[in-house]
Amino acid sequence: AQSVTQLGSHVSVSEGALVLLRCNYSSSVPPYLFWYVQYPNQGLQLLLKYTSAATLVKGINGFEAEFKKSETSFHLTKPSAHMSDAAEYFCAVSVPGASDTGRRALTFGSGTRLQVQP
Amino acid sequence: DSGVTQTPKHLITATGQRVTLRCSPRSGDLSVYWYQQSLDQGLQFLIQYYNGEERAKGNILERFSAQQFPDLHSELNLSSLELGDSALYFCASSVGIGTSTDTQYFGPGTRLTVL
């Protein structure tokens, strides 16, 4: 079974500083990997996804993530944090379904709450 | 706005009761997924429907059931409610059955409080 581990339930950075949110996955088959963001009292919004093409994935709002198979990691970065980036971030993995080649549900990590200090 | 709508936004009920949560997927999306987000369990997949048929099942309790109707909206039925069922329930939709081109778009959620 697949799983996702997000290191650090809370991360605090200063405005303008580098954002690094860590995600490690476990999967016996090539995974698809996702980062979602959840703003307070809202649903989840897709930031970016990796689906076995380029290992460096660029997403919305200046975020990017790099798939590193040797490290089983998919860390999320942003060069310069903005106050508006304060939210909860979820890493997720999906793998092929058992009965066909379709991919099924997302397995989410426990989330990382990002605080941005002025 | 993802285009996925969920009603109601909030629901407060008592233990032992039954509730129905409703989800309308984005126009053109055939798959609907239900997720539960709680403080102790995090975000967990419950069930997926594709074009009216159940396609995948996750950690869904037997007291819970779902269906997808011909117009592709979906309902999640929760019965014999317990305090521990209090959570945020999300619906997501995608175009296909779950391929590399599929992206799941999430609705705003229904917050269920069981007293």
Average pLDDT, chain B: 93
Burial (Cβ within 10 Å: 0-12, 13-18, ≥19) of residue B47: buried
Q: Are A67 and A52 in contact (CB under 8 A)?
A: no
Q: In this complex, is the C-beta atom of A107 within 8 Å of any C-beta atom belonging to chain B? A: yes
Check if the beta carbon of residue A3 is closer than 8 Å to that of residue A106. no
A102 and B90 within 8 Å at the Cβ level: the answer is: no
Q: Which of B43, B72, B12, B68 is nearest to A109 (CA)?
A: B43
Predicted local confidence at residue A96, as pLDDT: 67
Q: Show residues of chain B in contact with A36, CB under 8 Å.
A: 106
CA distances from B79 to A30, A105, B58 (A): 38, 23, 18
pLDDT at A34 over 60: yes
Helix ranges, chain A (H): none
On the question of pLDDT at B96 being above 50, the answer is yes
pLDDT band per the 50, 70, 90 thresholds, residue B24: very high
Encode pLDDT of B62-72 as tens digits: 999 999 999 99
> Of A44, A97, A100, which has the smallest distance from its Cβ to B90's Cβ?
A44
Stretch A98-110: mean pLDDT, rounded? Answer: 68
Percent of chain A with pLDDT over 70: 92
CA of B10 vs chain A CAs: smallest distance (Å): 11
pLDDT for B100 equals 61
**Residue B40 reports pLDDT greater than 90:** no
Beta strands in chain A (DSSP E): 3-7, 10-14, 19-26, 32-38, 44-50, 56-58, 64-68, 73-78, 87-94, 107-108, 112-117
| Percentage of residues in chain B having pLDDT higher than 70 | 97
Mean pLDDT of all residues in chain A?
89
